[in-house]
Structure 1
Amino acid sequence: MKNILCLLAVLFIYTAASSQNSLAGTITLKNNNETVSATVYIPQLEKGTTVDFDGNYELKNIPDGNYNVVFSSLGYATVSKKINFSNNQTVIENLQMKESAVEMEEVIVSTPFHKLQSDNVMKVERVSTDDLNSSGAVTLADGIKNIAGVDLITTGTGIGKPVIRGLSSNRVLTYTQGVRLENQQFGDEHGLGVNEAGVESVEVIKGPASLLYGSDALGGVLYLNPERFANSGETHGDLSSIYFSNTFGTSTNLGVKTSGEKLKFLARGSYSSFSDYKTGADYRVTNSRFNEKDLKTGVQYLGTKFKSTIRYNYNRSNIGIAEEIGEQTRSQDLELPFQEIDNHILSFDNTLFFNKSSLDVKAGYLFNDRREFEDDPATAALRLKLNTFNYDVKYNLPELGKFETIIGLQGMFQSNKNEAEEILIPDANTTDVGVLATSHYHLEKIDLQAGIRFDSRKIESEATRNPSDTDFIPALEKTFTSFTAALGAKMDFVKNISARVNFASGFRAPNLAELTSNGIHEGTNRYEKGNTNLSNEQNFQADVSLEYRNKHIEFFANGFYNAVNDYIFISPTNEMIDETPVFDYLQNDAALYGGEFGFHLHPHPLDWLHFESSFETVTGKLSNDEYLPLIPANSLRNTFRVELHDGKTRKFSSAFITLENTLNQKNVNDFETRTGGYSLLSAGIESSFQLQKAVLKLGVNGTNLTDKQYISHLSRFKPDGIFNIGRSVNVNLKVEI
């Protein structure tokens, strides 16, 4: 760690004598040369600007190298151009943009090579947090379930775990600030631990991503993009607040950011507090209340040879543990039992630019302190401390003709310690090392991408409790290794039609709970026994995606088949210990299959009118033909949306109405019960107004407007017959300067 910091310090200093390039030009509308209010952005440098009233723009302080420059504006086709900068030159790029009814494209960050979605070999879903908030999402996790193929295992409104095409927990990896998030995610009642404030957008890779991210990305990746720094020479501030009627909850956040030509800074703080949620059956779920404090800050330096970004995030979540329906109250004060969780994330993102290549060095330190209070609010019955250091080094080789290639080294050092009476998993250390290589080959109508990777994970745990005790956990030392590979192609052989075909393998090493558990897990009311003989989960998935686009309509169809060897699952044994049912961890081959299908109608010239419809389905089975547990039910989602972009004072207005139909879930595991279908109605309206130098945004939305009584198949309250949240009317206000 010390050596890495010294190296970064040396690289930080090495910028003074370097050359400086710039990019300038004009952006106008094709055919009539009218000015277009566009943004010019270089993703690899995180550097951008907007055109002035005359259509002119200029970007200074650009290091030598080849960069994708993205020109974008709402209502116009996004353009991405590869431009070479060298020898202290000013590149002139005059661009004419075409009007387009297709929504503005963004650069995908979670996959390599920083491509627009239309150029990306892998199909990646991307949604902004502004869109999640406007839909009435209570938390970041609550919002992502609106993405096709993504669902949520919930414990009330305060805890949500993402499910991607039927896979969850340690099979879905979360990245934030460019580093993998580690927060004891093996637990059913452990949420994300990341607040949506300061998160610009969410990207979802649906399928094995072990090639890029190693173990635990077997089912997919949830990639959280932090908010961008301000453009050079600009200073901005904003204050927003949201009120949720159902929980009498409020969420408020304040942010400021300022940027010079080389040095940039931002900071954001937020606080949220919610009382017990009310169901459609007109009762409140006792102790489902929670509150959250969050602080994010960052500093970036961009020289002509070196870019360095440091970000820090502190999050404290206090979450009530609901056990039964009791006292009905609107209080937001915590009651026993409850969890108190501190999450610290410190990330270093550094890039050294060469003439035709670059070196990316990322390092992250994460500290997760999880405490559970049961009988005494001053003494934790359970306390887990998790320290994680991870690193990611990638070298972007010089382009060879149409080839772009990346080689990389990734790893992690992790230490888990218990500091309370209750022990779920033993004290342990985990060490990961992975090496990878991936290439992208670009032709006029086809893009190919392939890669290979090798990983090793070593787990060492200490003996826990007395050897004569029934719940004794012996010491463990095991090493898991795996090769993974991926091959994909994107083809544009027919006008307006594109196809993607991807084949990928992934793996997941067993986690500590699966290997070493031996005791009662209070959160699940089970006595869990680990299995030290468990081996890697290894999967192979085939994805096919078809898209059709014209100026009136878009169609998409995504299908997948995922074969998982040695799938790890927990199963009842029909034994009882201390009047608690005993569950064992077992392995068997499994398969998951399904897809997402839909269309988006935006008839030209009525570009303000949108109708979107999507259907998603997934089925999971073990090789003995038993259904896998916690598989989302099939669902159909229809949204009618209106967007207006005009006026000098009113800059933007939108309204939507959504009907989500969740079908019966009859394909259940032996220790699950069937779940009935239900329909949820939501709607909202919002507008933004220009008031001199400030922008005021107002919005009102409602979720479950019919106050439906329903239970989600993925709710952990389902065995107790407790309903999900009922009607909520939410009001949001935001001021930007």
Structure 2
Amino acid sequence: MSGQSTVRGVILDESGKPFAGANLLLNSSKRTVSSTEGKFVFNDVRARKFEIKVSAIGFEDISVQGTTDTLTQALSIILTPSVQELEGVTINGNAQEELKRVESISKLQVDKKFLLESKGASLMQSLNAIPGVNSMDIGTGISKPMIRGMGYYRVVVAQNGIRQEGQQWSSHHGLSIDQQAVGHVEIIKGPASLEFGSGAIGGVINVLPERVPSTDGLTGELSMVTKSNTQWFGGSAELSFRKRDFYSHIDITYNSFGDFQIPETESFLLPVPVSASEASHEVVLGDQVYNTAGEEKAISLTTGIVKPWGRSSLILNYYATKVGFFDWQGIQNDSIRIIHDQSRRDLQLPYQEVNNYTIQHITSRYFNNDELEIGIGYQFNDSKEYSYLTDRTGNREEDLNHYTNKGNLNLGLFLHTISTNVVYSFNQSEKHSFKFGLNTQFQIHTNDGYNHILPNYNRYAGGIFLTHKYTIADQWILNSGARIDFTYLNIEETLNPDVEFGDPVFNPALEETYPGSAYSIGVNFLPSRTTIIKVNIGKSFRVPSVYELAAYGLHRHGGRFEKGNIENEPEQAWEFDLGIEQKWSDFSIGLSPFINYFTNYLYLNPSSELRPVGQVFEYRQSRASLLGGEITANYLYRKKLNLSVNAEYVYAVNLDLKSALPFTPPLNLRTELSYLFNDLKPLQQNKLGIELLTVASQNNTVPNELSTSGYNSINLLGRTEILFGSQRINLMLKVRNLLNASYYNHISFYRRMWIPEPGRDIQLYISVPIK
């Protein structure tokens, strides 16, 4: 066959019925959508070799490859993740592999199966098993992300591509996301400022919802979880409905947990900083970390339509937590011990309540080969902290009475965020594809409470970007892009109500506009289907957060007094990433080194100033560098025995002071061996695995940052599926910290108080699919 050809076919679901609304992309240039009969056609195909990428909500992405001169019939493509063979055509269901091949940055997708087997107490604890991704924990119910040694405002967390905003400055504010309602997660390791703007200088965690039901009718799942260490008990219910083009999905979650337990010792001693004028002293803690109990509630509703012209959805989320903080000031009081010993679920002061509300509307519209996506979101984050209130000078008696009557409200932080994303993807030819985007965000922040830490402010940010993918040849792909941004900040002045204690002005007023720019270029070399070599070089930026500019107050649960500096400037960073991956039939290995150079890195520095409430920490800037990488290896023996080894390392240095940067995770190695057993009725999908986590000591620290020793921890996993007629019941048993080892996580919140990680934890997960 020569000249121009036609490629036609039909898209079918797993039951063999025609599927309407599947997206098809031919040779990265021509785009179409399957009709109501599931049919598609590409006319005027000039290339002999062709590749069709098929994506459909509710199914795995697949890639269809073939040649027009051997194609003797219409294609029949079944939307299943299995590998099938047609005459002259190969269908490969691994969309993750295709993502690695065409993207120059380190981008990966995590599916529902991975999230289930690695499930922890929070979404970030579940993602902690991914090389280069770490979880900063406070107890068992709160976690924050860290990617390649960078966290807080350097990592963007998004839902459906729209930035999720909360109190990112705080190490004791977690993500307001119900992991039970997460379908899959897209993770970008390294700079992603081109599409996500300021704050994505370290990476992105983009949380995506459950897939659209593939068939008409009702489906769902009931699940339950219990954990021994915290007496955790919870469950969730999922229900999906589809009727032709209309679908709806709802998730409801509730979890309750008690104080977490640590390995028991004869004389575990906890150094407690009482005040700046007193030396730290030791208190016997025992095997229970008091007042770390809590609960989690969430409900998510998604409803939408799927049409040949595109799709549209409305997403509503409500997420709430109430979590206690270890009372290091009251631990010396025997009555406090008696109260918590009577009930591990008892919650006293201090504690935190967070209520998060999110509304999103996302629409995608196809125009021949192009696609327009519009996303609009509103989020309200209501965060309150309750603690012991004291009037040191006697000048605030009225305020003290007022906030004591409000439940001892220490801090009230209220953040409203409106976000818009507009992205247009278009293909000029088979070799060139472009993406143009516009992002805006408007925030209003107000506060309440007896103490101060963050002022009232308004913030507006907007930016435009353009990316270009150029397929030079079958083996070479060039990715490039640029972005320009500006951010407007209006911070209100905050006066000290008690001038006899502290500075007269907590923070001055500030009205400032910050411009920013980012650009990158990357090259992918694909010498074969089993080899990937890619290089990416880019420049990113990050506007300083309001906390880094105007913070003033006691970070009570960390025992630090923290101050911002309105003179701080936006961060500028240069990044270099290299990715190498080689696959054989049963073995694969990958290497991902990186280097980040900051001309003005923002960090929290312990100063020599002491106050009655603690040591003062100030935000400063200096030149800095972070370098390191990840190594992954995987071996599969006879499709039954799987051995995987992952290692990650980050070296962070303050180039001006020639010293370390604080809160840097140490070298760690994760080794997992698993075996998939043959099905034995009624038991199917039987799997048994053991994981060894080896973490090196971290002595590369700043002054007043404690070093930590290395450790080993062993985890077990067992999974099976029980058949009762047509009903399936999924069981998973996990044992975390099997040997009850006592160790410290260097980036954990409680580590600086010498509180070790939780001891042995036996976890049982049960889920029942409903159809």
| TM-score clears 0.5 | yes
CA contact (8 A) 1:655 1:684 kept: yes
Amino acid at match of 1:320: G
Q: 1:706 aligns with which of 739, 743, 748?
A: 739
Q: Which residue of 1 aligns with 2:597?
A: 563
CA contact (8 A) 2:84 2:92 kept: no
Report the Cα distance in structure 2 between the residues aligned to 1:80 and 1:38, rounded to whole angstroms.
Answer: 20
Q: Which residue of 2 aligns with 1:383?
A: 412
Match of 1:532, SS state, is coil
Match of 2:548, SS state, is helix
C-alpha deviation, 1:529, in angstroms:
2.0
Q: Which moved more, 1:574-583 or 1:203-212?
A: 574-583
| CA 1:494–1:107: 2 relative to 1, 3 Å | closer
Q: Which moved more, 1:289-298 or 1:574-583?
A: 574-583
Q: 1:105 aligns with which of 81, 87, 94?
A: 94
Q: 2:507 aligns with which of 465, 473, 476?
A: 473
Q: 2:53 aligns with which of 68, 89, 97?
A: 68
Q: Which moved more, 1:534-543 or 1:519-528?
A: 519-528
* Match status 1:431 vs 2:460: yes
C-alpha deviation, 1:233, in angstroms:
1.5
Gap runs ≥5 in structure 1:
1-21, 28-34, 47-56, 84-89, 109-114
Q: Which residue of 2 aligns with 1:216?
A: 199
Match of 2:124, SS state, is helix
Report the Cα distance in structure 1 between the residues aligned to 2:95 and 2:591, rounded to whole angstroms.
Answer: 21
Q: Which residue of 2 aligns with 1:422?
A: 451
The superposition leaves residues 581-614 of structure 1 with CA deviations (integer Å, 9 ceiling, x where unpaired) of: 22221100100001111210013xx112100011
Amino acid at match of 2:685: F
| CA 1:302–1:724: 2 relative to 1, 3 Å | same
What is the percent sequence identity of the aligned residues? 26
C-alpha deviation, 1:701, in angstroms:
1.1
CA contact (8 A) 1:136 1:703 kept: no
C-alpha deviation, 1:97, in angstroms:
2.1
Report the Cα distance in structure 2 between the residues aligned to 1:429 and 1:236, rounded to whole angstroms.
Answer: 44
Kindly report which structure 2 residues correspond to 1:303-318, keeping only aligned pairs within 5 A, or say none. 303-318=307-322
| CA 1:62–1:364: 2 relative to 1, 3 Å | farther
Q: Which residue of 2 aligns with 1:364?
A: 377
Give the TM-score taking structure 1 as reference length: 0.86
Q: 1:500 aligns with which of 534, 544, 551?
A: 534
Q: Which residue of 1 aligns with 2:653?
A: 621
C-alpha deviation, 1:580, in angstroms:
2.3
C-alpha deviation, 1:638, in angstroms:
0.6
* Match status 1:284 vs 2:317: no
Gap runs ≥5 in structure 2:
1-7, 26-33, 44-51, 67-72, 266-286, 332-336, 389-403
* Match status 1:193 vs 2:197: no
Match of 2:507, SS state, is coil
CA contact (8 A) 2:23 2:56 kept: no
C-alpha deviation, 1:250, in angstroms:
1.4
Match of 1:397, SS state, is strand
C-alpha deviation, 1:719, in angstroms:
2.2
Report the Cα distance in structure 2 between the residues aligned to 1:65 and 1:336, rounded to whole angstroms.
Answer: 66
Q: 2:298 aligns with which of 294, 300, 311?
A: 294
CA contact (8 A) 1:218 1:506 kept: yes
C-alpha deviation, 1:317, in angstroms:
0.5
Q: 2:430 aligns with which of 401, 413, 419?
A: 401
CA contact (8 A) 1:72 1:79 kept: no
Amino acid at match of 1:383: G
Report the Cα distance in structure 1 between the residues aligned to 2:667 and 2:243, rounded to whole angstroms.
Answer: 50
The superposition leaves residues 547-605 of structure 1 with CA deviations (integer Å, 9 ceiling, x where unpaired) of: 111211001111001111210111122112334222221100100001111210013xx
* Match status 1:332 vs 2:345: yes
Report the Cα distance in structure 1 between the residues aligned to 2:618 and 2:61, rounded to whole angstroms.
Answer: 53
* Match status 1:342 vs 2:355: yes
Match of 2:115, SS state, is helix
| CA 1:683–1:711: 2 relative to 1, 3 Å | same
Q: Which residue of 1 aligns with 2:703?
A: 670
CA contact (8 A) 2:359 2:379 kept: yes
C-alpha deviation, 1:36, in angstroms:
11
Report the Cα distance in structure 2 between the residues aligned to 1:668 and 1:251, rounded to whole angstroms.
Answer: 39
Report the Cα distance in structure 2 between the residues aligned to 1:438 and 1:471, rounded to whole angstroms.
Answer: 45
| CA 1:188–1:39: 2 relative to 1, 3 Å | farther
Report the Cα distance in structure 2 between the residues aligned to 1:567 and 1:206, rounded to whole angstroms.
Answer: 19
Amino acid at match of 2:292: S
Match of 1:717, SS state, is helix
| CA 1:343–1:43: 2 relative to 1, 3 Å | farther
Kindly report which structure 2 residues correspond to 1:225-264, keeping only aligned pairs within 5 A, or say none. 225-264=208-247
Amino acid at match of 1:69: V
Report the Cα distance in structure 1 between the residues aligned to 2:304 and 2:77, rounded to whole angstroms.
Answer: 29
Q: CA RMSD in A?
A: 3.2
Match of 2:195, SS state, is helix
| CA 1:62–1:563: 2 relative to 1, 3 Å | farther
Q: Which residue of 2 aligns with 1:720?
A: 753
Amino acid at match of 2:350: P
Report the Cα distance in structure 2 between the residues aligned to 1:303 and 1:226, rounded to whole angstroms.
Answer: 19
Q: 2:727 aligns with which of 689, 694, 700?
A: 694
| CA 1:711–1:725: 2 relative to 1, 3 Å | same
* Match status 1:440 vs 2:469: yes
Q: Which moved more, 1:139-148 or 1:429-438?
A: 139-148
Give the TM-score taking structure 2 as reference length: 0.83
| CA 1:71–1:678: 2 relative to 1, 3 Å | same
Q: Which residue of 1 aligns with 2:644?
A: 612
Amino acid at match of 1:541: E
Amino acid at match of 2:425: N
CA contact (8 A) 1:39 1:73 kept: no
